[in-house]
Structure 1
Amino acid sequence: MKATPKLLVGQRSQTSPWLAVNLSAALPGAGQMYDGAIARGLVIAIAHVGFVGFILWSIFAPGGNTLRGLLTLLPLLSLYLFNLWDSHHAAKRGVTLDEFSPLTYRSSDPWYPVFLSQVLPGLGHLFLQQAAMGAALLVIGILIAYLANFNPALLPLTTVIWAVGCGLVYRAAPARRRQWGWLALLLAAVIVTRFAVSSIPFVVPKFVVQCIVPSESMLPTLEVRDRIFVRPQPVDYTPAIGDIIVFSNPERTPPEQAGQLENLMVKRVVALPGQRVAVRLGQVWIDDTPLIEPFLSEPIRYQWGPETVPEGHLFVLGDNRNRSRDSHVWGFLPQPHVVGNAYKIYWPPQRVQPLANPNQASPALGAVIN
């Protein structure tokens, strides 16, 4: 029984270093697995998923630290760059950094121009001195990517253009033999990964709305220029007394535009439909019971009511009761105007905190508000 021959010094590996780089560029860790370094590839893949999960949790979760999440982008980027270099290194032992550099690399390896086309469609063709095709793909790719910022329906087209550019340049590059199976796998990974990443700016607003506080109506809870995350109102959302909600200003917003992200205000829910509310003796009374609000910094200096909150409406007040234009001025808030409940101050760093409902045991889970 013959032993498997070992590679001699200077003998080339049967794996392609730049195919490994392409795979790791599309799916971190995949290049290492292609090279046979399965354990290292899994560690790199899991580390990427862990970093991304921690970043998302830090930024969007009520208890997460936004600044810490943003700073974690640096080690994530470093890990991604190491992942590219390491995949090349694992396929070609003894490689130097100069050999890896796309600025100095000279090779007939068809996977190298594919890597350039992953960076920008057309770069690989320009490397092969196919100026017309390279310029066309570059212009079309950048133009469609720009237009997709305004029309999410174009997102699939941008990923397809990237994949087409990679496929065309692989076919155009000189090669002794083609690896069409690996190309198909790579193009599928490019499409899926790029579509997932490019969809983030359009998917996030479906789950969270970013707002800026410009007034003092919610002091001391919310300060001027606080940036808050708001969970858009789901169909089954039932406001609770103590919730901080964002809504379209009923004084400025016609009923047909209720709930849109214009003319927004932020206040606290004080009374629900069917409850009898009054303001007297410096505090709010609900059904003749005083409402305990430890977050207020001073007694209320006006009187209002009593009145019963009609069905489909809310009674809302600013925490800075004596300097807030709210339900005691313009009346009950129609619930269709509610955008959602604010659950976190995410910026500035020293103000990051969950916006907990004081009446509940746990914290409640680009527009300007008044």
Structure 2
Amino acid sequence: MEQQQGKPIRYPKMHLSVFTLNHLSVRNPFVVMWWSAAIPGYGHMILGKYGQGFVLVVWEFFNNYNGKLNYAIYYSMIGDFTLAKQVLHQSWIILYVAVYVFTLWDSYMKTLDMNKLAQLCGHQFDLQPPMVIKAHGINYLRVYKPWLALLYSSFMPGLGHIYLQRLISGVFIIVFWVLTCYYSHFPEAVHMTMIGDFTGAKSVLNPEWLLFMPSLYVYGMYESYDSAKHFNHLYRMNQAEFLRKNYQHREFRMPI
């Protein structure tokens, strides 16, 4: 257990492992809820609750596909509301709505709870070793460039997370991005567009999978950029605590 001045840390602020860095920070509950609305599970992933987030994302893809929800959204966007109603699978949609509403509420409430914990952590930051070395990998605290994480994620969602040494979430995002690209035939449509075959590009696209892509793409950029800023803050806090404990006299009081 981490120690601080002889006392155990009650509220640890971060945990560094070979595969990722998880941490507590104050977040806007409406932003977290919005990402849960975009794709259920993403709000929980932002909070660092990866197990619950991964399960909800898989459920979203599975239930959305079987309920034909994205097809209904597509037909509604082009004004064919009759076909949108006919294509929906009622049994799956009823299940979808229940989990969707729960995800919004749960992500909002968990954000409020974790904000309180993050504020408590700010008063007793736990000094941790800035490096973890195991037989199967190395991870360490460092200062990142948020714009570079954003740039990598713009190339492919998940690459920004790999740059931040968040292997678990990075691989998860990349896998779902590749699956979505494959089943939506998006790369083929891009190729046809580049050679001027716009009709072929339009006909080859699968709207059911294509509608997943905006949320996947924007989330990868947003979350990697936001995480880079938080990681930089954690590095500076850890460094400041190390310097305070090892180089500043205990009796010193700031003049302000």
Fold shared, TM-score > 0.5 on shorter chain: no
- Per the normalisation by structure 2, the TM-score is 0.35
Larger RCO, structure (CA 8 Å, separation 6 or more): 2
- Per the normalisation by structure 1, the TM-score is 0.26
Structure (1 or 2) with the larger CA radius of gyration: 1
